[in-house]
Amino acid sequence: MSTPIPHDPAAPLFDIVVAGHGAPGQPTTPKQLPHKGGAVNPSVDALRARFGSAIGRHEVVWGETTVYVERTKVAEVCAWLQSDAAQSYEYLSDVTAVEYRDHVRAIEVVWHLRSIKFRRFLRLKAELPKDGKTPLEVPSVWPVWKGADWLERECFDMFGITFTGHPDLRRILLWEQYKEGHPLRKDFPLRGRFSRAEQLKNALAADPEARYSMEELSVVEAFASLPADMRQRLGGGEKVGE
């Protein structure tokens, strides 16, 4: 049996990230930025040197750099950006998607990354062609940033994009039995796919009063009213976001 190494009370339990530490010069707020063009985030050249053809075009709009990445390489690229000492993108602020009205233009999955240490912002995009052949899926970055858990679930719920490798990919805003598709897709009708009568019928069939009421609700009763697959997950002691 190994002897545990005693912890030094004076030593921090985790790495302390100091904003701007390692960045040259005194940080200042940029002004008079051009709409397009301007200084490119130095991480773009570093990405091309590391990943070659997996890194596509880039653009700078209002001082923010966006770089396009091959969809199958997203997790690998993000892991390197997070772990490499010269990059240090330790914070994932958002995962979302964009679908344009142009039915030919690809859906874009978007990641917003921040390096607190170097005061850098980088936007990654991966394109998913709507050709009926390319699956609407990208690798999950949950193993890199645990904060991606609910962000990816929301993107899955609203756009129908699958994040392969996510530990618990299911709807987060709509109920799991929602049958009308994904509300932020451009082909989703404003009034929903079902008529109001059908929506009401489905809502009543779900028996919402069995789970929500103004009176005290027994936990046992609420558990019994859940779908079988959800009861199985909860009964097995699921662990999310760890």
User: What would the pLDDT profile of 118-143 be if each residue is shown by its tens digit?
Assistant: 999 999 999 999 998 999 999 999 99
Helices (H), the chain: 43-51, 74-83, 148-159, 196-205, 219-224, 228-235
Q: Which of 85-99, 159-173, 184-198 has the lowest mean pLDDT?
A: 184-198
Q: Parse the chain into domains and list their residue ranges.
A: 18-173
Q: Which of 79-83, 155-159, 209-213 has the lowest mean pLDDT?
A: 209-213
Whole-angstrom distance, CA of residue 89 vs CA of residue 115: 4
Helical packing angle, 74-83 and 43-51, nearest 10°? 120
Q: Which fold has domain 18-173?
A: Beta Polymerase; domain 2 (3.30.460)
What confidence tier does 224 reach under pLDDT thresholds 50, 70, 90? confident
Question: What average pLDDT does the structure give for the chain?
Answer: 84
SS3 category, 152: helix
What confidence tier does 85 reach under pLDDT thresholds 50, 70, 90? very high
The string of pLDDT tens digits covering residues 4-25 is: 455 566 655 556 666 666 666 6
Mean pLDDT of 188-195: 79
